[in-house]
Structures are given as C-alpha cells and as structure tokens.
C-alpha cells in the first residue's frame, strides 16, 4: 500500500469524507500528517501553501510527512518540501453548479453573499456584490480554480484554460469526481493499492436537504458562465475520469467493485448506526460526534448503536467522527503535550 499522499482538499466537494478515509488509514498505519502549526484545520488558507505553515517543519532539517490533506491553496514547489518525492497527488472535483449552490449556503456570511437574499439575486448582477479584492471573494467565484492555486478572475481564453488543465495534469496523479463518489473510491483504492475497508466511508459534512433548493435552467447557465474556469476544469477531468475507468478497469469490473463497496458500507451501517442513516444536528446524542455548523447550512451527523464491543465501537466511531474532532485527536497523538 502507498503511504505518501498529498490530497488537495477542494471546498464543498465531498472532501471531508475523503479526509476521514485518509485519517483512518494514517491512524491505522501510524503515519505522520502535515498538520497546520498549532493544530487547526487549514494551512493558512487562503494564502498559497508554504512549507513553514506545517507544524514540525524546519528548513534547516526538513522533515517529511506521510500525508498532507488539510485545506490549503496549492503551490507544488512548497508542497514538495514536506512530502516524499514519490508521494501520490490526488484531488476531488464537483460540478460547479452544485458547488456554487452549496457555497452560497455555507459561506453566506462572506462579503459577496452577505447582502443578498438568494443566489438568483447575486447572479442577476454579480459585480454589484462581488469584489475581487476582498480576502474572502474566492468563495463566490471559481472556487476550485482558486484552490488549485490559479487566479479565479483570470480571463477565459482557450490558451489560458489549456495551460491550467496541463498544469493540473502534470501535478496530480488522479482527479476524483464527487458525483461518482463510489467509482472514485474504487479508482483511489487501485492507485494506492489499498483494500476495500480502507476506502469505505459514511458521507460526512453533508447538508440536510431542507436547505437545498432546485435550480432553474437559466440559473444553471448563469452559474456556469460566472464560474467558467471551474466549468472547464470539471468537464475536462470528468471526461478523463471515465477514460481512465474504461482503460484501467473496464465498466463491468467497475460495476462489481462499486457493488462490493456499497454492500460493505451497508453492512457497516447496520453494525454501527442507529437508524441506518444521518440525523440532524439536534438529534445527535453524543456531542463529540456533532459536526461544526456553518452559515445557513444544516450539517448532519450520526448516532452510534449502544452496546457495541470495544473493537467494533472503535471502528464505528472513527467512521463517523467529524473532521475537526478527528484532526484534533490525531494532532494531539502526533504532538503530545510535554508536561510542564
């Protein structure tokens, strides 16, 4: 199994679920994580990543870490200072239409969105509300482009788009697609030579459907236009994703693998969860399993079954522990406080 990994955690793209998979694998195999200085969950985002943002890194005696997966704005020369040269790089993308709708709910308090009542209102005259010089403006336009390190307000010329796609292809070994999450996990498992249980997960950091609203065709087109760079990234890598499946795995085997993954997930849900599925934040009984609530989104979580034996409880708990709590636990384990 490969143990040196860089995951670019793109916002609002099922990336918290992927992070849980990496946390569990890292914990099981005693791997080290490139944590932000002082813990925390972001590597000084939205600044471009620098090696000195990592706890325990020093230019005099550079130390390499196994897994880099916390939120960052990608800058490869700096990333290379903290991971092995053989590290596998991957990320995950999401359809920019749904991504924008999700961002609007989740980052409602940001400068671009705070003065509008709806996404429609914002898109009817975006430049009235959007100011590219504001430090949080990236949440409102071409968020994936931004996370990959590029200028979200750059012109959309064919040449520039090609350069951007090429740069991503050169840096990343695999780009997953969140709309095809199970297929993505099969590809990831193959690339990393991991077993099935390492990539099984329950969806984390997901919103209650009551806060989701359907989008009209006009809105969809407006979102695509406003996020044209993201749209170019997404459509290109959605295509290469399926080309890769056809080339390396084949559709039939992929169907079998996805079926096995879903069966294992259902089996774990039956073993671990009360009521088989996610519940709203107010119904989560164990406060340590309650995810952070953000913006106008209502983030769901899980209840574990009572009376599980110790080992099963441990497995189940790790599957449903929200990102911030899990990150904090691993940080304390990797950097134990020295007693005064």
Q: pLDDT tens, 219-232? A: 999 999 999 999 99
Give residue 70's pLDDT: 97
- Which CATH number is 5-263+324-334 given? 3.40.50
- Locate 302 and state its tokens: 């899980």
Give residue 263's pLDDT: 98
pLDDT at 69 over 90: yes
- Locate 318 and state its tokens: 């790790």
- Out of 59-68, 173-182, 186-195, least confident range: 59-68
Cα torsion 101, 105, 110, 111: sign: positive
Neighbours of 291 (CB within 10 A): 22
- Domain positions in the chain are 5-263+324-334
User: Mean pLDDT across the stretch 183-192?
Assistant: 98
Cα torsion 135, 144, 142, 166: sign: positive
Q: Is residue 269 a contact partner of residue 275, using CB atoms and an 8 Å limit?
A: no
Mean pLDDT across the chain: 95
Give residue 289's pLDDT: 95
Cα torsion 135, 139, 141, 143: sign: positive
- Global pTM reads 0.95
User: Mean pLDDT across the stretch 264-284?
Assistant: 93
Among 331, 340, 338, 339, residue whose Cα is nearest residue 35: 331
pLDDT at 339 over 70: no
pLDDT tens-digit readout, 17-29 = 999 999 999 999 9
pLDDT at 86 over 90: yes
pLDDT tens-digit readout, 283-324 = 999 999 999 887 777 889 999 999 999 999 999 999 999 999
Cα torsion 109, 293, 204, 213: sign: negative
The DSSP letter of residue 330 is H
Give residue 196's pLDDT: 97
Conformational region of residue 39, where left means phi above 0, alpha means psi within -120 to 50, and beta covers everything else: left
pLDDT at 189 over 90: yes
């Amino acid at each position: 199994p490969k143990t040196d990994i860089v995951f670019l955690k793109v916002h609002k793209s099922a990336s918290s679920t992927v992070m849980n998979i990496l946390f569990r694998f890292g914990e099981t195999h005693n791997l080290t994580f490139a944590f932000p200085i002082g813990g925390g969950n972001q590597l000084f985002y939205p600044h471009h990543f620098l090696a000195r943002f990592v706890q325990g890194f020093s230019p005099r005696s550079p130390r390499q870490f196994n897994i880099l997966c916390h939120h960052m704005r990608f800058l490869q020369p700096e990333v290379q200072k903290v991971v092995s040269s053989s590290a596998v790089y991957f990320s995950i993308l999401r359809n920019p239409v749904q991504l924008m709708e999700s961002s609007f709910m989740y980052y409602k308090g940001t400068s671009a969105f705070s003065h509008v009542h709806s996404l429609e209102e914002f898109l009817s005259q975006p430049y009235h509300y959007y100011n590219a010089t504001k430090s949080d403006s990236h949440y409102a336009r071409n968020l994936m482009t931004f996370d990959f390190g590029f200028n979200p307000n750059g012109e959309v010329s064919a040449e520039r788009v090609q350069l951007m796609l090429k740069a991503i292809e050169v840096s990343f070994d695999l780009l997953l697609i969140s709309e095809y999450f199970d297929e993505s996990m099969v590809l990831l498992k193959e690339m990393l030579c991991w077993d099935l249980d390492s990539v099984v997960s329950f969806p984390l950091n997901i919103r209650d459907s009551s806060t989701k609203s359907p989008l009209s065709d006009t809105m969809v087109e407006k979102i695509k236009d406003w996020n044209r760079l993201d749209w170019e990234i997404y459509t290109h890598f959605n295509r290469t994703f399926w080309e890769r499946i056809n080339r390396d795995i084949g559709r039939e085997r992929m169907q079998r693998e996805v079926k096995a993954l879903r069966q294992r997930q259902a089996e774990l849900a039956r073993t671990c969860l009360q009521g088989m599925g996610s519940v709203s934040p107010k119904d989560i009984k164990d406060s340590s399993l309650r995810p952070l609530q953000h913006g106008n989104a209502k983030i769901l979580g899980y209840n574990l079954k009572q009376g599980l034996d110790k080992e099963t409880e441990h497995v189940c708990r790790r599957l449903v522990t929200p990102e911030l709590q899990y990150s904090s636990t691993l940080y304390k384990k990797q950097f134990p406080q020295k007693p005064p």
